[in-house]
A and B are shown apart, each in its own frame.
Chain A
Amino acid sequence: MSLQLVANVIVLAAIYALVSVGYVLIYRVSRVLNLAHGELMMIGAYFLVATSSLFSGNPIVAIALAALCGLAMGIVVYAVLMRWMTGEAVLAAVLITIALGILLRGLAVLVWTTQQFYPGATLGWHNPSVRIVPGVQISAASIAIVIVTAAVYLGLFVFLQFTRWGIRMRAAGQNPLLAEQRGIRLHGVYALAWGLSTFTASLAGMILALDSGVESTMATIGLKAFPAALVGGLDSLIGALIGALIVAAAEIAAIQYVNPLLSDVVPFLVLLVVLAIRPWGLFGSREQLDRV
């Protein structure tokens, strides 16, 4: 039984971690907190609904196309909207993301109504359950999310440490003025950050959609993942991973041993405790606090 619990924690942590990547990327690079992340994840899932009905015989194409649309969506959001907020007060940028979230929710209902969709069924995939070790059974989609999350984190680590654009992103995050003066085009870096953020969000949304369907209230999962990013420190990828594990463990422990009704509150309680001890998150950089 307890091995199953460990598996559940890992799966839930993977979901939160994959969603948190987006928060961390944008915050680290541009100091903006993107509160529309949950809605962007939801739109990514809806992209899969659209592509899966167009390419129902070809799951690979449907998924790849939806992921690409997710990437493009982030770049578009930056180019059309967030670009104008560069250099403005951070609070204004955050508030605009809240407004963007509301707009996206309304548009989602306008286009897709309030019905629930199951792109997995459209693609003919029935999400079989897999027995990993005796006593532990999880769905194939859950395995997928753990693998994808690991791949994303690894890929991002390599990208940020070793590739040119990754280094540019880190530079822009540490000192935008200096970076711009050194010839790093901030707009390009920010657009890339947004693109990667929505790309990972779309991946998360798509896997969740394949696992248990899409509907217009899916965006609130983004809000639940938020404490995970904050606990770890909003500008640290490792922090997001560890934060996700802590929050997921606390949530599942609450469900199993205390009271399932607390499962919505527990992530925020954990957050409050961590913030009381270390106000900038477990792995966050200290000076970020004063700048805000």
Chain B
Amino acid sequence: MVAPSPYARDLKLFGTRRARLRLAAAVVALGVLPFVASPFLLDLANQVLLACIGALALMLLTGFAGLISLGTAGLLAAGAYTVGALFREFGAPFWVTLPCAALLGALLGLIFGLPSMRLRGLYLAISTLGLHFVMVYLGGEYEARQSLSTGVMIDPPSIGSFSLTSGRAWYAVLLGFAALALLISVNLKRTRTGRAWRALRERDVVAGALGIDVQRFKLLAFVVSATMTAIAGALFAYFRNFVSIDAFSLYLTVQYVAMIIIGGMGSIPGALLGAAFVILFPYAIEALASYLPERFSNTVFALDYAAFGLVMILFLLLEPAGLVGLWRRLRNAVTARRAKTAS
């Protein structure tokens, strides 16, 4: 067998033996999870997987390409409503609705990427916020005109007689989508597109001077990110079996932004860690709060909200590199101690 060329060896995702072992461990763990976890934990895992897709999308746009976007909730709503409307009006099956959601996402990404030609930073973020309000308006109009006071109910996706309802089945599906999103993100980062985005993030004027087509890559970032987010929204609609405009509030966008911050900006594992953290955090707070004496039982719920804000602040102040940064520090501390005791 011919030894792989040096470049090919560099390109391999899991080149070292250690990395392959870790990958195997992760695959085993992920595979075993649905069979040992309680139904509630399984539902949580599914929520985390779903959030990972959106978090990765946002990481691509904001973390890699440096284009701040506050339109996540609007894009999720767009994907979800595509499914809802197509299902309700035409009874469309999932292999029609999902691509349609993706197409709509791409189109919206294009439209809302256009301001990025002229705007930067906070002004760009605000223009993406406009997307959110437009979607809320359109969604509300649709529900009101169709007399859907409690949202659109959607049947679970089905092929023949098999219907996607059980937690385990969803786990497999969502894991598949999340893995796909992860693969896309990793590959984009390691290739020319990722490097172009990185140059854009640092100083787009300089990037342009280096010969990178700034406009094309900016739009590409928006389109890719929006498509992924819209698909995540469509999956959400099928997962919860329904769509309602109230589900897509500004707070949802803030949560996704929190995911990529807490996880660590510009880092793919950071997006995944951040997604897990933000989803699981309220439940951790409630579990902790259950140890408080009875008379605090009214305050528990508001506590969750306040604690989330506090944790975000602490991360931003103390560990701007997020969970990934924390992990690295921990690991460096352990390695340093090991080195010290060895010498």
Query: Are any A and B Cβ atoms less than 8 Å apart in their complex?
Result: yes
| A269 to B46 alpha-carbon distance, docked (Å) | 37
Q: Does B172 contact A (CB under 8 A)?
A: no
Residue pair B313, A33 in contact (C-beta under 8 Å) = no
Of chain A, the residue at the smallest CB distance from B126 is A230
The 10 closest A-B pairs by CB, nearest first: A106-B306, A103-B309, A292-B121, A102-B309, A106-B305, A99-B312, A109-B302, A268-B130, A110-B302, A99-B313
Which residues of A have CB within 8 Å of B121? 90-91, 289, 292
Which residues of A have CB within 8 Å of B129? 268
Residue pair B123, A230 in contact (C-beta under 8 Å) = yes
| A214 to B119 alpha-carbon distance, docked (Å) | 36
Q: How far is the CB of B216 from chain A (nearest CB, A)?
A: 20
| A99 to B314 alpha-carbon distance, docked (Å) | 9
| A98 to B251 alpha-carbon distance, docked (Å) | 10
Which residues of A have CB within 8 Å of B87? none
0/1 interface trace, chain A 246-280, chain B, CB 8 Å (1 if under) = 00000000000000011011001101100110011
Q: Indicate which residue in A33, A88, A227, A269 contacts B320 across the interface (CB closer than 8 Å).
A: A88
Residue pair A103, B306 in contact (C-beta under 8 Å) = yes
Of chain A, the residue at the smallest CB distance from B306 is A106
Which residues of B have CB within 8 Å of A262? 137
Which residues of B have CB within 8 Å of A261? 137, 140-141
- Taking A95-B261, A261-B137, A272-B127 as contacts, is the C-beta distance between A100 and B309 under 8 angstroms? yes
Interface residues of A (CB under 8 A from B): 33, 81, 84-85, 88, 90-92, 94-96, 98-107, 109-110, 223, 226-227, 230, 234, 261-262, 264-265, 268-269, 271-272, 275-276, 279-280, 289-290, 292
Which residues of A have CB within 8 Å of B310? 99, 103
Residue pair B257, A98 in contact (C-beta under 8 Å) = yes
Q: Does B337 contact A (CB under 8 A)?
A: no
Cβ < 8 Å to A, chain B residues 115-132: 115, 118-123, 126-127, 129-130
| A173 to B26 alpha-carbon distance, docked (Å) | 51
Residue pair B123, A275 in contact (C-beta under 8 Å) = yes
- Taking A99-B312, A99-B316, A265-B133 as contacts, is the C-beta distance between A226 and B306 under 8 angstroms? no
| A292 to B257 alpha-carbon distance, docked (Å) | 18
| A94 to B120 alpha-carbon distance, docked (Å) | 15
Q: How far is the CB of B69 from chain A (nearest CB, A)?
A: 12
Q: How far is the CB of B278 from chain A (nearest CB, A)?
A: 12
| A161 to B299 alpha-carbon distance, docked (Å) | 47
Q: Does B304 contact A (CB under 8 A)?
A: yes
Q: Does B3 contact A (CB under 8 A)?
A: no
